[in-house]
A and B are shown apart, each in its own frame.
Chain A
Amino acid sequence: MNLEKKILKLLEHDAKMSSKTIAAILDKDENVIKEIIEKLEKDKIILGYNTIINWERLGEDGVTAMIDVKVAPEREVGFEKVAERICRFPEVRCVYLMSGTYDLSVVVTGETMKDIAWFVSHRLSTLEQVQSTVTHFVLKRYKQDDFIFEEPEEDKRLVVSP
């Protein structure tokens, strides 16, 4: 694996890992690591850094929905153009082209179910290529991006052992 890939593997699991720590793991100079990360950011290989938050623990009730969208593909551009248009809406978090019974899977977040209903009826369904939508609301999140949404597991080991 080349150095860039090794750095990306480490950051994929922990975006907050410092260049110093990465440098120690990969036996490289810290500045070399910094430069590579900057280049990866510039080249849009690293698109950004998110935080995975358990909002529910904070008592915040956001709403997330996964919407199956059937789309009429267009000559020349297929699904690209409509997918790009859907991406532009700020409430849309993810857009995937899918195999199977529908075409696009769209993940939308809002504060209330009404927000999402409004988005589907006023924004999404009104696009001329969109033929139908099926909206699934997320009831509970158990695991996301490697993290399990439960009480953090404490270290159960003896503090000192031979």
Chain B
Amino acid sequence: MSDMNKYLAKTVQSIPPSGIRKFFDLVTQTKGVISLGVGEPDFVTPWHIREACFYALEKGYTMYTSNSGLLELREEIAVYMKKKIGVEYSPQREVLVTIGVSEAVDLALRALLNPGDEVLVPEPCFVSYAPGTVLGYGKAVSVPTYFEDEYRLKPEILEKYITPKSKILILAYPNNPTGGIMEKEDLEKLREIIIKNDLIVISDEIYSELTYNGEHVSIAALPGMRDRTIVLNGFSKAYAMTGWRIGYACGNPDIIAAMTKIHQYTIMCAPIMSQMAAIEALRHGESEMRRMIDDYNNRRKIMLSGFKEIGLDCFEPKGAFYAFPSIKISGMTSEEFCERLLFEEKVAVVPGNAFGANGEGHIRCCYAASIKNIETAIEKMGNFLDRHRKG
């Protein structure tokens, strides 16, 4: 077989495959693993939402929709946004339905970036922002956030990484992988810097409903921030709809129009049956969603108290469904820790450095798992630490 690599685009060659991939292969080769390495709900989509999809198919809804998505869905999204984050968006001009938040991130980056523009990416974070930036011919600039700050983005640290080329700031809170959140005061401090430096914010709020003590606040709701923020959200986490691939972007009409242009040529529209299911989720999904969130919250507390018991240092994660404890006491690197934990105890957790260099020294543990699995996994981690504790 001839080597075709020389034909590949340089930008594509320059981005590494996801760091999780390697670990995924390792885990799938091992039998009988308890996995806390999953990045999605352990619930199946609520039945009434699935049923709405069957109904749509039975009625013959199998065609394209408008590029922006069904108006009915965009209207429901606008109602939801007003209620949840207190920002009004026009369903006709300021809402775009996408193939999950992943597509929306790509669209937003490509709609805004000129070659060489810089994107500020607070890390640790979800894996797609930096590669998405590179594919949009921009330059990703990692901005570290720290365990001691519960991974909040600190204004003084952000300022250090701003250059005249800085154009976009990614905010992804509640955060994957850390479970950290940004409260209103935290966002207010960033606001001044964002406006002073004329930055646009891409706010990935996919975990917003999974905020435990208190309410999620969007930076778009702060004065002067609405037009310079693109809020991205979706159905995957709150309604356990990961496989439906359905999300949305809300923002200034000029930016949404530019994103829609890319979307219409590359995607056309999100699948209609997923859109119909999403309408059902927004109209009638609240109580099932609350039930799932209460369940995550219970398991969050079990995990946290378990870590305390086995001596893993962890701050209280107030959002998403992850905890991101420090593994300092083991004296191992994240990858070494995860590999050995997998081989010795058959527990899978994700190395923190898969989410950015400063995730090193931590592991991501997902509590969207059964109580029994969480408790067994923690017991096994405790045994592992007893053997490998340093000092």
Residues of A bordering B, CB below 8 Å: 10, 14, 17, 21, 23-27, 153, 155, 157-162
- List 11 additional A-B contacts (Cβ < 8 Å) besides A155-B42, A160-B24: A10-B298, A17-B371, A21-B371, A153-B44, A159-B24, A159-B37, A159-B38, A159-B348, A160-B37, A161-B20, A162-B18
Number of interface residues of B (CB under 8 A): 29
A157 near B27: Cβ-Cβ < 8 Å: no
Residues of chain B contacted by A153 (CB below 8 angstroms): 44
**5 closest Cβ pairs, A-B complex:** A24-B305, A160-B37, A161-B39, A160-B24, A25-B298
Is B257 among interface residues, defined by CB-CB distance under 8 A?
no
Cβ contacts under 8 Å, B27 to chain A: 159-160
Neighbouring B residues of A23 by C-beta, 8 Å: 305
Contact pattern, B 354-377, Cβ under 8 Å of A = 1, otherwise 0? 100000000000000001000100
Does B189 sit within 8 A of A, measured CB to CB? Answer: no
A161 & B38 in contact (Cβ 8 Å cutoff): yes
- B33 close to A (CB within 8 Å): yes
Q: Does B23 contact A (CB under 8 A)?
A: yes
Chain B 305-332 per-residue mask, 1 if CB under 8 angstroms from chain A, else 0: 1100000000000000000000000000
With A17-B371, A21-B375 in contact, do A160 and B301 touch (Cβ < 8 Å)?
no
A162 contacts B127, C-beta separation under 8 Å: yes
> B28 interface residue, CB < 8 Å from A?
yes
A24-B302, A25-B298 known; A160-B371 Cβ under 8 A: no
If the complex has contacts A21-B375, A153-B44, A155-B42, are A160 and B306 also in contact, measured as CB distance less than 8 A? no
Contact A160 B40, beta carbon cutoff 8 Å = no
What is the distance, in angstroms, from A13's C-beta to the closest C-beta of chain B?
A: 10
- B80 to nearest A CB, angstroms? 26
Total A-B pairs in contact (CB under 8 Å)? 55
Judge if B203 is at the interface, Cβ distance under 8 Å: no
25 inter-chain pairs at a CB distance below 8 angstroms, sorted by A residue, are A10-B298, A17-B371, A21-B302, A21-B371, A24-B301, A24-B304, A24-B305, A25-B301, A26-B301, A153-B44, A159-B27, A159-B33, A159-B38, A160-B20, A160-B24, A160-B27, A160-B37, A160-B38, A161-B20, A161-B24, A161-B38, A162-B18, A162-B127, A162-B128, A162-B354
CB distance from A50 to the nearest CB of B (A): 19
Shortest Cβ distance from residue B261 to the other chain A in the assembled complex, whole angstroms: 28
**What residues of chain B lie closer than 8 Å to A21, measured between beta carbons?**
302, 371, 375
A contact residues around B158 at 8 Å (CB): none
Q: How far is the CA of A153 from the CA of B39 in the complex (A)?
A: 19
Q: Which residue of B lies closest to A24 (CB)?
A: B305
Cα–Cα distance between A24 and B24 once the two chains are bound (Å): 31
B35: Cβ under 8 A from any A Cβ: yes
When each residue 334-351 of chain B gets 1 if its CB lies under 8 Å from chain A and 0 otherwise, what string results? 000000000000001010
What chain B residues lie within 8 Å of A160 (beta carbons)?
20, 23-24, 27, 35, 37-38, 348, 350
- Is B137 located at the chain interface by the 8 A CB criterion? no
Residues from chain A with Cβ under 8 Å of B33 in the complex: 159
User: With the chains together, A17 CA to B37 CA distance in Å?
Assistant: 24
Verify if B126 is at the interface (C-beta below 8 Å from A): yes
Contact of B35 among A10, A25, A159, A162 (CB under 8 A): A159
Q: Is the CB of A157 within 8 A of B350?
A: no
* Distance between Cα atoms of A26 and B39 in the complex (Å): 25
Chain A residue at minimum C-beta to C-beta distance from B368: A157
The answer to whether A162 and B302 touch across the interface, beta carbons within 8 angstroms, is: no
CA distance A153 to B45 in the complex (A): 13
**Cβ contacts under 8 Å, A17 to chain B:** 371
| A residues in contact with B35, CB < 8 Å | 159-160
CB <8 Å contact, B306 and A24: yes
Which B residues, 162 to 196, have Cβ-Cβ distances below 8 Å to chain A?
176
Are A157 and B42 CB-contacts (below 8 A) given A25-B301, A27-B301?
yes
Chain A positions within 8 Å of B301 at CB level? 24-27
Instruction: Please give, as numbers and ranges, the residues of chain B lying within 8 Å of A161 by CB-CB distance.
Output: 20, 24, 37-40
Bound form: Cα–Cα A24–B307 in Å: 11
- C-alpha spacing A35/B306, complex, angstroms: 22
Chain A residues near B304 (CB-CB < 8 A): 24
> Which residues of the partner chain A approach B126 to less than 8 Å between Cβ atoms?
162
